[in-house]
Amino acid sequence: MAIVFKKTSVLTDTIMHYCPGCGHGIVHRLVAEALEELNLQDKAVGVAPVGCAVFAYRYFNVDMQEAAHGRAPAVATGIKRVLGPESCVFTYQGDGDLASIGAAEIVHAAHRGEKITVIFINNAIYGMTGGQMAPTTLVGQRTTTSPYGRDMEHCGSPIRMSEMLATIDGSAFIERVALNSTANIQRAKKAIRKAFETQMAGKGFSMVEVLSTCPTNWGKSAVESMDWLESSMIPYYPLGVKKEV
């Protein structure tokens, strides 16, 4: 079954800069549709990261703020506290931004129970800066800084951010989804909508981790990347709800 994306006023007509086969464009569409369906466009403020989605402010037709590398949760915290509970504040971050330089920021935002929503794109690599190893890079995966594959003895195991944040009292909704099939994309849309609903209900911190592809830095075609996501990423990063209050 094919997915038919609806036209949404929450996205601009700007042509996106992402590489062919990248999942960012799909996730942008899912976020936009969820905001529109929940009638949150005029209440929404997005925080763009440093990373492949650094120009996200060009694509969303909502108020946007750029943040320093890894600091999106801190910026979102300030915006939400100033604007109050009627606002819908979300960050959009990659794994290098969120799980590496921004690890402390995301942990403490969850610990404080900040009523923000985080859209976390996990493609197991640093995308914008040249394909270096990220905290989420799988054991054995080759990158520009692990040309022989990630060595667990040297680098440790890939970090499972959703499972870790689900243990924190202040987190209210955590789910991991993927973009490798029509059914999983539909589940991703439901999870993103649920995360926004959790925020607006004042329950606490919410995050959706999205397993996505990076054909350019993985050195694979778009089709091969989808297959690798399913065969290699999902077994290590199992899909599903990790916490729901």
Domains delineated in the chain? 24-244 (3.40.50.970)
pLDDT of 53 above 60: yes
Q: What percent of the chain has pLDDT over 90?
A: 94
Higher-pLDDT residue of 87, 4: 87
pTM, two decimals, is 0.95
pLDDT digit string (tens) for 185-198?
999 999 999 999 99
- What's the whole-number mean pLDDT along residues 155-169? 97
**pLDDT number for residue 4:** 58
pLDDT digit string (tens) for 70-98?
999 999 999 999 999 999 999 999 999 99
> Whole-number mean pLDDT of the chain?
95
**pLDDT number for residue 5:** 59
Helix (H), strand (E), coil (C) string for the chain: CCCCCCCCCCECCCCCCCCCCCCHHHHHHHHHHHHHHCCCHHHEEEEECCCCCCCHHHCECCEEEECCCCCHHHHHHHHHHHHCCCCEEEEEEEHHHHHHHCHHHHHHHHHCCCCCEEEEEECCCCCCCCCCCCCCCCECCCECCECCCECHHHHCCCCCHHHHHHCCCCEEEEEEEECCCHHHHHHHHHHHHHHHHHHHCCCCEEEEEEECCCHHHHCCCHHHHHHHHHHHHHHHCCCEEEEEC
**pLDDT number for residue 2:** 54
